[in-house]
């Protein structure tokens, strides 16, 4: 599969190129531990490898959660932000920035900030609220969940806007940068958290591939095929909320990965979730690795927020995809 070839190549490019281009020889010698005290080794092990790993893990999380969301809601325009997790996480981060002020790291957990904790809690609370609003005695309505997600997203956006209005310049800049997304905070601890979350999500979600394939036919048809629809929906929503909430907590809000990548992968491998889910994870990792490479090199030594790059690259591609959708077999 092309993704299995492109992923390691993207990772190598991400660690080799940057504001300081190391070159293949210096990179290889540092990776093989032939030179450990050189500038190249310090750049690789302290900055670029943790950052590249973070990009790969966050991209994989966002993309596979996006593919699951589109299958669950039977809507190609769905992405995890529709259920409010991104807006809730951003609001949680803004609340921490506004009220916690200069708190940077949690005691005993260097590399994890109070802002990250606030973002994760904000996303979790938002998803639980949306799910509760959409659930009744007859089950969970997907349509109601989407509408509740839109309403809660608007509410969270209003609260974030109010916090920004009353923030000072430093707080406002931190909130704005959080909204744009970034991987500059990668550390050994945050990469470990991202790795554990990604491995768990990528290992668990493919087990729901047959259920997602059945749900594409409709909920009643899925029930006739023996799928416990209500249980599957709850479990998938919780897993998606966990994955996206953690990604936003660790890297801020990164747009379009969960929407665009599943579309690209679906055109290449088809709609079967047994191949779509793992391929989406690899595609998301590749996209965010390359987007972060562009963010670090396009206007070096200045660094762009990676969320801006994914939006600038993803939006035109998605518009082109929609414009020529009939050529790809889309309605």
Q: Which residues in 39-62 are b (16+ Cβ under 10 Å) and which e?
A: ebbebbeebbbbbbbbbbbbbbbb
Helix (H, G, I), strand (E, B) or coil at 136: strand
Is the pLDDT at 186 greater than 50, yes or no? yes
| Per-residue confidence (pLDDT) for residue 106, from 0 to 100 | 46
Taking residues 34-39, report their average pLDDT: 62
Tell me if 13 is assigned to some domain. Answer: no
CB of 163 within 8 A of CB of 94?
yes
Interval 226-263: pLDDT, tens:
888 888 988 998 899 888 888 888 888 888 888 889 98
60-96 pLDDT per residue, tens:
999 999 999 988 888 777 787 888 888 888 888 888 8
pLDDT over threshold 90, residue 2? no
Looking at residue 32, its pLDDT comes to: 66
Higher pLDDT pick, 207 / 267? 207
Mean of the per-residue pLDDT values of the chain: 82
What value does the mean pLDDT take over residues 293-321? 82
Q: Which residues of 290-319 are buried (b: 16+ CB within 10 A; e: fewer)?
A: bbbbbbbeeeeeebbbbbbbbbebbeeebe
| C-alpha torsion sign, points 141, 145, 146, 148 | positive
Task: Indicate whether 17 belongs to any domain.
Answer: no
Report the first-to-last Cα separation within the chain, whole angstroms: 27
Report which of residues 159 and 318 the model is more confident about: 159
* Whole-number Å distance between alpha carbons of 160 and 175: 9
Question: 88 or 38: whose pLDDT is higher?
Answer: 88
Q: Dump pLDDT digits (tens) for 129-154.
A: 888 888 877 777 777 888 888 888 89
Distance CA 79, CA 27 (A): 37
> What residues make up the domain containing 275?
57-328
Instruction: Tell me which DSSP letter residue 229 carries.
Output: H
Q: For the chain, what's the residue count? A: 331
Contacts of 80 (CB under 8 A, 6+ apart): 62, 65, 66, 69, 86, 240, 241, 243, 244, 258
Do the beta carbons of residue 87 and residue 270 sit within 8 Å?
Answer: no
Residue 170 included in any domain: yes
Q: Is the pLDDT of residue 112 over 60?
A: no
Q: Indicate whether 18 belongs to any domain.
A: no
238 part of a folded domain: yes
**Tens digits of per-residue pLDDT, 12-24?**
888 888 777 676 6
Does residue 110 carry a pLDDT above 50?
no
Q: Please tell me the total count of domains within the chain.
A: 1
Is 239 part of a structural domain of the chain? Answer: yes
Using the predicted structure, report yes or no on whether residue 117 has a pLDDT greater than 90: no
32 within domain boundaries: no
The answer to whether residue 52 sits within a structural domain is: no
Both tokens of 157, joined, read 């956006």
pTM of the model: 0.88
Instruction: CATH number of the domain at 134, please.
Output: 1.10.3470.10
Give the C-alpha distances (Å, rounded to integers) separating 147 from 92, 137, 189: 21, 18, 37
Write out 94-107 in H/E/C secondary structure. Answer: HHHHHHHCCCCCEC
Q: Where would I find the H helices in 216-272?
A: 219-224, 229-251, 257-269
For residue 36, what pLDDT band results from cuts at 50, 70 and 90? low
């Amino acid at each position: 599969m092309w993704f299995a070839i492109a992923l390691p190549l993207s990772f190598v490019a991400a660690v080799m190129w940057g504001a300081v281009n190391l070159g293949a020889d210096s990179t290889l010698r540092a990776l093989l531990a032939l030179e450990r005290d050189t500038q190249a080794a310090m750049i690789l092990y302290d900055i670029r490898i943790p950052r590249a790993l973070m990009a790969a893990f966050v991209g994989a999380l966002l993309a596979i959660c996006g593919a699951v969301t589109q299958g669950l809601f039977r809507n190609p325009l769905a992405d995890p932000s529709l259920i409010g997790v991104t807006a809730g996480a951003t609001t949680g981060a803004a609340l921490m920035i506004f009220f916690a002020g200069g708190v940077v790291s949690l005691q005993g957990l260097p590399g994890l900030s109070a802002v990250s904790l606030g973002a994760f809690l904000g996303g979790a609370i938002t998803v639980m609220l949306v799910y509760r609003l959409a659930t009744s005695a007859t089950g969970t309505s997907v349509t109601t969940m989407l509408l509740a997600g839109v309403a809660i997203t608007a509410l969270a956006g209003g609260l974030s806007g109010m916090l920004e209005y009353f923030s000072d310049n430093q707080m406002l800049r931190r909130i704005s940068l959080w909204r744009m997304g970034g991987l500059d905070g990668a550390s050994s601890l945050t990469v470990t958290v991202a790795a554990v979350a990604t491995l768990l999500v990528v290992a668990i979600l493919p087990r729901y591939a047959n259920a997602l394939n059945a749900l594409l036919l409709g909920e009643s048809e899925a029930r006739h095929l023996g799928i416990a629809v209500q249980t599957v929906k709850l479990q998938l929503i919780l897993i998606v909320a966990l994955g996206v909430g953690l990604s936003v907590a660790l890297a801020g809000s990164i747009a379009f990965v969960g929407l665009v990548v599943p579309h690209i992968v679906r055109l290449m491998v088809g709609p079967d979730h047994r191949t779509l889910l793992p391929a989406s994870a690899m595609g998301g990792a590749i996209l965010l690795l390359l987007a972060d490479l562009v963010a670090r090199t396009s206007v070096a030594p200045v660094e762009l927020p990676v969320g801006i790059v994914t939006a600038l690259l993803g939006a035109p591609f998605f518009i082109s995809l929609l414009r020529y959708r009939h050529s790809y077999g889309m309605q």
